[in-house]
Amino acid sequence: MRPASLDEVAGHADHLGAEGFLRRAIADDDVPSLILYGPPGTGKTTLARVVATSTQAEFEELSAVSAGLADVRAVMQRARDRLAAGTRTVLFIDEIHRFTKSQQDALLPAVEDGLVVLIGATAENPYYEVNAALVSRM
């Protein structure tokens, strides 16, 4: 069974513990966009879902292996519609390093403007595999 709340997520006390960065960001309603980096099966997707649930945000998931620019644009439009109604969106992109530079660049305005909280997941070192402009905003 997968964790449904931060209290059910094991490990990462420095980030998820009572004084942890992510727990404080959720409590302050100020969750930034971020990249989760680690081997497959370590809970990156689950943690992204927990963040969305904990902040009452809608969760959108894309896989960079199969999604294209049209998919990203469709998510952004739904996020705009939700934000106009007072609901935020957490956009989770699995294997974010697989997006092309132009696909990653298309995410920049949404991240900069706070349209979505972007949570990217990768098993590759993001500082080498993800667009530097995007990494600098996460």
Residue 87 is part of a domain; what is its CATH number? Answer: 3.40.50.300
Beta carbons within 10 angstroms of residue 27's beta carbon: 12
Which residue in the block uniquely carries the two structure tokens 């972007």? 118
Beta carbons within 10 angstroms of residue 78's beta carbon: 15
What pLDDT, on a 0 to 100 scale, did the predictor assign at position 134? Answer: 86
Q: Residue 118 falls within a domain, yes or no?
A: yes
The string of pLDDT tens digits covering residues 44-97 is 999 999 999 999 999 999 999 999 999 999 999 999 999 999 999 999 999 999
Q: Residue 40 falls within a domain, yes or no?
A: yes
Answer whether residue 13 shows pLDDT above 80: no
What pLDDT, on a 0 to 100 scale, did the predictor assign at position 11? Answer: 76
Domain that holds residue 77: 31-135
What pLDDT, on a 0 to 100 scale, did the predictor assign at position 37? Answer: 93
The string of pLDDT tens digits covering residues 85-134 is 999 999 999 999 999 988 899 999 999 999 999 999 999 988 888 888 88
Q: Residue 15 falls within a domain, yes or no?
A: no
Q: Residue 23 falls within a domain, yes or no?
A: no
> What secondary structure, in 3-state letters, does the chain show?
CCCCCHHHCCCCHHHHCCCCHHHHHHHCCCCCCEEEECCCCCCHHHHHHHHHHHCCCEEEEEECCCCCHHHHHHHHHHHHHHHHCCCCEEEEEECHHHCCHHHHHHHHHHHHCCCCEEEEEECCCHHHHCCHHHHCCC
Q: Residue 26 falls within a domain, yes or no?
A: no
What pLDDT, on a 0 to 100 scale, did the predictor assign at position 6? Answer: 77
C-alpha to C-alpha distance for 45 and 94, rounded to whole angstroms: 8
**How many structural domains does the chain have?**
1
Q: Residue 80 falls within a domain, yes or no?
A: yes
Give pTM, 2 decimals.
Answer: 0.92
**Which of the four pLDDT bands, split at 50, 70 and 90, describes residue 135?**
confident
Q: Residue 54 falls within a domain, yes or no?
A: yes
Q: Residue 86 falls within a domain, yes or no?
A: yes
